[in-house]
Amino acid sequence: MSNTTNEIQHCEVSITEFAAKFDCKLIHNPSSEFIKLESVTTNRPSFILAGWMDHFSRSRIQVFGRTEITYLKSLDPDIANERIEWLCSKYVPCIIVSRGIKVPQVLLKNAQKYDIPVFSSKKNTPLLIHDLFIYLNDLLAPTDSVHGILIEVFGIGVLIKGRSGIGKSETALELVHRGNRLVSDDVVDIKNVNGVLYGTSPAITADMMEVRGLGIINIRAVYGIGSILKRKRVQVIIEIEDWDSFKDYARTSSHRYSENLLGEEIPKYIIPIIPGRNIAILIEAAVSDFRLREDYYNPVAEIESRMT
């Protein structure tokens, strides 16, 4: 199952949730309970206050710092009102005044007129913008829902894939029993945050694993809180498949596979199933091999060097 969206998303966030996230005080509560967010960047409206309205992006959160508020107060009241009204008439997502500065009446009046939420934050302006950038990049990141299991093995995020019924959950259960940590079973929600893929579990199946013959197991309840991880970077894909006697499986590991997820190439290992193979141990070995290769160690190259 795959539901891929490679473009920046838009999202509606509860106003009270947003205020709590950034420890902001809500100065004007609009009629809507939600803020529509669709841009990963914010804007300090200095140019708008100076009268230059070209190339304005209405989708960005507007942040007023000490510089903007000081300049706004220096303007003729009619000009200040005209420029703030122009800004609010574009129905920006919200306005945040930083450093705990009192919100000017002209700003509050026009925000009320156009039903724009206004917040006050005690954070200094650069820190507030930095925190907003991280939050928005994660919230609006391209997403993908993938059929598989995400588990942390030796600190590495491993996405286990394979046909239904091939034994992914049983393998993951053994990996957890061996001290590794489960992130998600059956469906993994993946986000591409600035070129790094992170996987989480859908809320409804968090902590749970379905094993044929046993039913649904609460991994947290059985193995403890240390057996569960809420989010993990996806670094390796393990594809479990049925043994194909006509397929030429690599024996020297010189050929490297990869799979594209959300525009990123992820290293991939293909493990065929035959009787007597312990897939959990093979996955741990594959992860150890991956870690060594990340440090530029290649066992094939070492063997070749021994032959010279």
Pair of tokens at residue 117: 């939420």
Return d(Cα 110, Cα 101) in angstroms, integer.
18
> How far is Cα of residue 216 from the mean position of the Cα atoms in its chain?
27
DSSP, res 9? P
Count CB atoms within 10 A of the CB of residue 198.
Answer: 18
Catalytic site residues? 147, 168, 186, 251
Return d(Cα 49, Cα 40) in angstroms, integer.
22
Q: Are strands 236-242 and 156-161 parallel, antiparallel or unpaired?
A: parallel
